[in-house]
Amino acid sequence: MDIGIGLPNTVPGTEGKALIDWARRAEEAGFSTLGTIGRLVYSGYEELIALAAAAAVTSRIRLTTSVLLAPLYTNTALLAKQAASLDRLSAGRLVLGVALGGRDDDYAASGLSTKGRGRRLEEQLTEMKRVWSGEERGLAGAIGPEPVRSGGPELILGGSTETAFERVARLGDGWIMGGGTPDMFAEAAPGVDAAWRKAGREGTARKLSLAYFALGPGAHAQANAYLLDYYGFLGDFARQVVAGAAVSAEMVKSTVAAFEAGGCDELIFVPTGSGLDQVGLLAEAIA
């Protein structure tokens, strides 16, 4: 199983230079990917912009939106161009993870309704693939640049329902669980595989998950402060999210083992703070 690390793009107070230094250290430490989490109504950096900055100072590590809330990007052709641009600038390292999101305020702030967002996401995915295929759109031809990978960047879709799994099988290259326990992952993964087989897809879907972490002195306080704020809209359930955060090297190791046993192909540890020491501490914990 590959082990990635998140950029602290949604950690309040994170300076731009910290994101740049974090990206450099993550690549040096050997992590498989840099992930970002998406939310509009919160203090943080937009994902594609944050990953473009990371792309400029790295050369190997994958760049994964885990996940970007695609229905908020209402100009689908422009989103396709942005994704293709980042893919090209990074020499094909973009993994475009998209999902619907679970917060009404993100949609309200965008002047959008949550009704029909699943249908809109499917329309977006289909449209982006047409753009990436080089379909002509005007006198000047296609919308460029051409992605590095034929057909466009790797598409990873979120969601935990049967409908979401069917969407993965029809339109995606893989599935991501946006936080949750290893048991939740192990329970959901067979549903993804079943939908994949039913759709007649070859092989298996690549399956990813997120897990939160905080390490070193003050780890518990760091995880509590960030997660209770970020997930405050969930009420008491936010404390369950906090309880699942890996706050010691032993917890990191057990989390890795549990997700690997559940069939996870890549686990992205999402930071709850932006101190650069977190990159090294996580690398040591999984060594």
Q: Using one digit for the tens of pLDDT, what is the confidence trace for 67-87?
A: 999 999 999 999 999 999 999
Q: Which residues of 49-81 are buried (b: 16+ CB within 10 A; e: fewer)?
A: ebbbbbbeebeebbbbbbbbbbbbbeebeebbb
Give which of 42, 77, 25 is closest to 226, Cα–Cα: 42
Residues of the chain with pLDDT below 50 are: none
Following CA atoms 159, 128, 87, 174 in sequence, which dihedral angle do they give, to the nearest 10 degrees? 30
Give which of 181, 233, 168, 250 is closest to 207, Cα–Cα: 168
Helix pair angle (16-29, 47-56), 10° resolution: 60
Q: State how far the Cα of 239 lies from the Cα of 80, in Å rounded to an integer.
A: 37
Task: Give the count of beta carbons closer than 10 Å to the beta carbon of residue 161.
Answer: 11
What six digits make up the tokens of 267?
A: 């686990």
For residue 184, give Cα distances in angstroms to 88, 90, 236, 271: 35, 33, 19, 20
pTM: 0.97
The predicted pLDDT at position 120 comes to 98
The predicted pLDDT at position 138 comes to 87
Give which of 183, 178, 140 is closest to 161, Cα–Cα: 178
Following CA atoms 25, 27, 33, 34 in sequence, which dihedral angle do they give, to the nearest 10 degrees? 30
The predicted pLDDT at position 179 comes to 80
Sign of CA dihedral 178, 229, 32, 185: negative
Residue 209's DSSP bridge partners are 177, 267
Q: Residue 133 has what DSSP assignment?
A: T
